[in-house]
Amino acid sequence: MVQEKAMPSEETLDPEDWESMRALGHRMVDDMLDDMKTIRERPVWQPTPDQVKAHFKRPVPLDPQPLEEIYEEFLENVLPYRRGNIHPRFWAWVVGTGTPLGVLAELLAASVNSANSRVEKQVIDWFKEVLGFPASASGLLTSGCSAANLIGLAVARNTKAGFDVRREGIQATPHKMVLYASQEIHMSIQKAVELLGLGSDALRLVPVNDDFQVDLEALKATIAQDRQDGHLPFCVVGAAGTTNTGAIDDLSALADVCLQENLWFHVDGAFGAWAALTPGARNQVAGMERADSLAFDLHKWMYMPKEIGCVLVRREEEHRKAFSLTPAYLARGEGGRGMTGGGLRNYGFQLSRGFRALKAWMSLKEHGIRKYGRLIQQNIDQARYLAELIDAAPELELAAPVTLNVVCFRYLRPGLGDAALNALNKEILVELQEQGIVVPSGTTIRGKYVLRVGHTNHRSRREDFDILVCEVIRIGKALSLS
């Protein structure tokens, strides 16, 4: 070939010394498994010292640094200052814990370095099977429930607009498109509505009842008013597990409303969808299987390492119609031979897609779906156990009914009004977190600042909740004295 010229030597990013890389890999596996095995012995969380923070201000590395040195930096400056969510006493927000095989699966997935549509479709088929969706539904694994909600609402928007919204855009709508959710709905719904160009004022936030479920009469009245005002109601978003309190809307009733009103029924089931696996809470999510689209996570309940969420869409053609696009450089070879993708890119906005399906595939095989059902039930039972502890403690007060896995409560001190109690409970939360013993988060419910346990942790035991209650009371008393 063109060999006459002097050719420069070629290099690669592969190591010259594969054995050192292998030794490092083995060390990482040992360290990470040891870390997970012994995590209970360490603080849940610790603040980052200033000298560690300063470490991350250095300019871009110009030249290579030895492998072992890089790893030591990770062990010293990164690992100890993580968020803490793999710890058995971490219950802040709703953050999953991960599992050892889930972690190892990510190693394999990165090695393969591309989505495998057969594995992904099988995993989605399993989700359809256990969540009551028809086999003909379509689905896509996503970075999480925010992306899944965005995709579900995009399909809803495009299907219900009554014109070609992909081509003409929202400004072509003759009537303002409006949708409905409870005041307790997750922020990702508003973010999706904004991104989709509908405007947050198109999202009608309907009041909730005493159980923090959407008020059905208020919902119907709002829809009627919108129709009277010449708007176009197109979608109801039901919550299967709100962030604040874990409340689950009456999904059967919402499905009925959507049927009567010809609205798209989307369910945000981030963690709560998985109540479907339990004997004790399955009935609470009845009606979810009637949704037009369902979004949920695998990295909250289901305990898989981040990032993995999923969206299911009841009618595949509506899903595909909202997202498919095939430029020349992606056109399939004729006759179906050659290399073809699985077409999953036609169900979302990502084109290059990693192999997040693998951890789901391996994890479901490792444990079987029945064990997931038992673990989720265990979390629900532990949340009730915590609620009983709180009920039994005169210093503590539950702020909302505990129907699933979220427990909101506050420390009381006689003689203090809500404003002072809010300040005290904020301080208690900071102390709990900074002392590294237990990590709940905080929220505000009907004007009261409360501690919030969002429990999707497969490592927690009842004794961990005993510790939580003791610590809140201990710190509450100490702060009251100071």
Q: How far is the CB of 125 from its own copies (least distance, A)?
A: 8
CB of 293 to its own copies, least distance (A): 15
Distance from C-alpha of 434 to C-alpha of 444, rounded to nearest angstrom? 21
- How do strand 203-206 and strand 448-454 relate by DSSP bridges? unpaired
If the CB atoms of residues 199 and 259 are measured against its own copies, the closer one turns out to be 199
Whichever of 110 and 259 has its CB closer to its own copies, that residue is: 110
Other residues' Cβ atoms within 10 Å of the Cβ of residue 255: 21
Cα gap 438→457, rounded to integer Å: 13
Min dist CB 233 to its own copies, Å, is 15
For the record, the structure tokens of 278 come out as 């339990």
CB of 217 to its own copies, least distance (A): 25
| Residue 209 CB, nearest approach to its own copies (Å) | 19
Between 147 and 257, name the residue whose CB sits nearer to its own copies: 147
Distance in angstroms (rounded) separating the CA atoms of residues 303 and 284: 21
Contact 364, 140 (CB under 8 A): no
Nearer to its own copies, 220 or 474 (CB): 474
User: Which phi and psi (to 5°) does residue 367 adopt?
Assistant: -105, -25
CB of 256 to its own copies, least distance (A): 28
125 vs 316, beta carbon nearer its own copies: 125
Q: Which is nearer to its own copies, 167 or 481 (CB)?
A: 167
